[in-house]
A and B are shown apart, each in its own frame.
Chain A
Amino acid sequence: MAETGHALTVLLAKGFGLFYLLALSACVLIYTFWPGNGKRFEQAAKSVLRGEDRP
C-alpha cells in the first residue's frame, strides 16, 4: 500500500506536475504580453503616482 502510494505520488509529481506548471507558465506569459493588456498595465503603473500621501 505504502509502495503504491509513493509510486503514484512520484508519477503525479513528475508527470502531471511538470505539464501543469508548463501550461501555467504559458498562460501567464500570454496574459502578460497580450497586446490589449499593455495600455491597462501602463495606466495601473501610473495610477499610484496621482499625488496621494504627499501633503
Chain B
Amino acid sequence: MVAQLTRAERQFALLTLGLLALCGLLMAAGANDDLFALHGGLILAFAVGLGFLVISGLDAPEPADGRLAEYYDDPSRVAIVLTMGWALFGLAVGDWVAWMLAYPQLTFDAAWASFGRIRPIHTTGVIFGFGGNALIATSFHVVQRTCRTRLAGQFSPWFVLLGYNLFCLLAVSGYPLGITQSKEYAEPEWYVDLWLCIVWVTYLVLYIRTLARRREPHIYVANWYYLAFIIVVAMLHIVNNIAVPVAWNHARAYSAFGGVQDAMTQWWYGHNAVAFFLTAGFLGMMYYYLPVRAQRPIFSYRMSIISFWGITFMYMWAGSHHLHYTALPHWVQTLGMTFSLILLVPSWGSAANALLTLNGAWHRVRDDATLRFMMVAAIFYGLTTFEGSFMAIRAVNSLSHYTDWTVGHVHAGALGWVALISFGALYSLTPALWGRARMHSAWAVEAHFWLALAGTLIYVFSMWNSGVIQGLMWRTYDAGGTLAYPFIDTVVAMHPYYIARAVGGALFLSGAAIGAWNVWMTIRGPAAASQPAVDDRPLTVLAGE
C-alpha cells in the first residue's frame, strides 16, 4: 500500500502520523485522568505502528505514472479485510451478550464485563466496525465505477479508512474501561468525537471531489445515497455530540443539552443514524451491486429518485417516535409518528424496486447465493420498514416499547437487511477486486447464506415472542386493579426465548466465520486465467486520451 504513494505523499503520511503520535503523547503525559492517559497511549501506539509501516516503504521506487489511469482499489481491499474482521468481533461479542442475558454468570464477576459495558462494544463493533468499513469499501468502489474516474486523492482514502478504524478502536476500548457519554450509538467521549469529525469531513471532501471529476453526465443514484449517508452522518454527529469537556486532559465531558431537549436531540441522532448510516448507505450498495449482479438495470430509475428524496427529507422528522409517552410535547410525538408512517412509501419504493429488478432473473437468484443474499436483504428491508412504521404508532408503541420486540425489530433490520446486503456486496466485490473468476468456494457462500437466514429468523421470531409476552405481562391487571405479574415473572418467562436468540446469533456468527474464511481464501487463491474486463478502467484511458 505504501509503494502506491509517491515520495512526497509518503512524507506527508509520516508527518500526519507524527502529529497524531504527538497528540497521543500529550494526552498520555499530560492527562489528569488515567483513562485519558490510556487512550493517549493507544493513539501513540497506533501512529507509531503505522509509522513503521510507512518508513519501511519510504525508499521504495516511485510508483509508475500509469497507476493514475487505473481505479484506486487498494483502500477498498484493505477495507474488505477490516470489514470481515470487525464482523467476526462484533458478532462474537453480540452472541456473548445474548448468552449473558440467559446466564448472567457470564459476566464472570468482572466489572468491565458487565452487560452495560459489553453491549456497546457489540453495537459499535457491528454498526461502525462492520457496517462502516463495508460502506467505505463499497463507496470507494462504486463512486469510481459509476463516475468512470479515479478517486480524487492518494493519501486521503487511507486517512479516511485508517482514521475511521482508529475511531472504532478508541470507542470499543473505552467502554470496558467505563469511558462513555451514555448516548446510545454515540457513546464515545468528546476527543474521540472530534477525531471522527476530522476523518468524516475528509471523507466528504474526497467523495465530492471524486464526483466532481466524473466522466458521466448524470450522477448515478447509488452515489446520491452514499452522499446523503456521508453528509447527514456528519451533521448528526456534530450536533448530538456538542459537549464541554471537564478539562482538555480529561476524558469526561458534559452534553450541551439537558432534559427533554437532550432526549430529543439524542433520538433525532439515533433514529437518523438508523436512517442514514444503516439505510441510505446500504441502499447505495443495493442500487449498484444488485443490478450489476442480476445483469439487469434497476426496474424504475424514477422510483429510485422519488424514494431517495422521500427518505432524505422525511426520516429527519421521525426520531421523536422513540419518545412516546414521555415529557416531550404531545404534538412532537405525533409529528414523529406521522412521518414514520409516511416513510413506508419511499421505503417500500426501494424494496419493491429491488425485487422488481429481479423479475425475469429469478433463475439467477436460485443459482447464485450472492444474488440471493441481496434479494433476501431487500425482503427484510421491506419487512423491517413496515414493522418500524407500525411500531411508531403510539398505541402499538405502548405495547412494544421497552420490550424485546424492539430488539427483534432492530435485528430484523441489522441482520436481515444491513448484514445480508453487505455480504452480498462483498461476495461480488472480493473476486472483482483481486482479479479472481469467483469466490474460492461457492459451497461456502451457500452455507453462509442458509446459516445467516436461519440465524436471523430464529433471532427475530424469538424476540417477537419474548417482546409481546413481556409487553402483555407488564400491562395485565387482576380483578383488584393491581399488576398481575411481578417483574421477575416476566424475566423467567423470557428465559427460553433468550436461549433461542443466542442460538440464532451463534448460527449467524458461524455463517460469518465461513464467509471470512472464504474471503481470505479468495484473496490468497490463484488469479483468474482470463484478464479483467478491458473496460474496467477510468473513461480517460478507454477513450485513449
Contacts and interface: CB of A to CB of B under 8 A. Distances in A.
A18 B218 CA distance: 31
Interface in A1-42: 6, 10, 13-14, 21, 24-25, 28-29, 31-33, 40-42
B145 A32 contact: no
A24 B313 contact: yes
A48 B146 contact: yes
Contacts of A32: 302, 305-306
A21 B301 contact: no
A29 B306 contact: yes
Most-contacted residue by chain A among B146, B222, B301 (CB, 10 A): B301
A53 B432 contact: yes
Contact of A45 (B217, B298, B309, B532): B298
B297 A55 contact: no
A29 B302 CA distance: 9
B533 A51 contact: yes
Contacts of B220: 44, 47-48
B313 A49 contact: no
B530 A33 contact: no
Contacts of B216: 44, 47
Interface string B288-301: 10011001111001
B288 A55 contact: no
A31 B220 CA distance: 15
Contacts of B302: 32-33, 41
Contacts of A29: 306
A55 B291 contact: no
B144 to A, nearest CB: 10
A50 to B, nearest CB: 6
A22 to B, nearest CB: 11
B283 interface: no
Most-contacted residue by chain B among A24, A41, A49 (CB, 10 A): A41
Contacts of A24: 309, 313
B301 A13 contact: no
Contact of A55 (B222, B331, B435): B435
Contacts of A53: 145, 292, 428-429, 432, 533, 536
A52 B291 CA distance: 12
Most-contacted residue by chain B among A6, A32, A48 (CB, 10 A): A48
A17 to B, nearest CB: 8
B329 A6 contact: yes
A24 B335 CA distance: 18
A54 to B, nearest CB: 6
A48 B329 contact: no
Contacts of A28: 305-306, 309
Contacts of A45: 291, 297-298, 301
A8 B143 CA distance: 43
A24 B311 CA distance: 13
A44 B218 contact: yes
B482 interface: no
Interface in B203-232: 216-218, 220-222
B313 A48 contact: no
22 contacts: A13-B331, A21-B313, A28-B305, A32-B302, A41-B302, A41-B305, A44-B216, A44-B221, A45-B301, A46-B297, A48-B222, A48-B288, A49-B297, A50-B535, A52-B432, A52-B533, A53-B429, A53-B432, A53-B533, A53-B536, A54-B533, A55-B436
Interface of B: 145-146, 216-218, 220-222, 288, 291-292, 295-298, 301-302, 305-306, 309, 313-314, 329, 331, 335, 428-429, 431-432, 435-437, 528, 530-533, 535-536
Given A32-B302, A55-B436, 17 more contacts: A10-B331, A28-B309, A29-B306, A31-B305, A32-B305, A33-B302, A40-B217, A41-B305, A42-B301, A43-B218, A45-B298, A45-B301, A49-B296, A49-B297, A50-B535, A52-B145, A54-B432
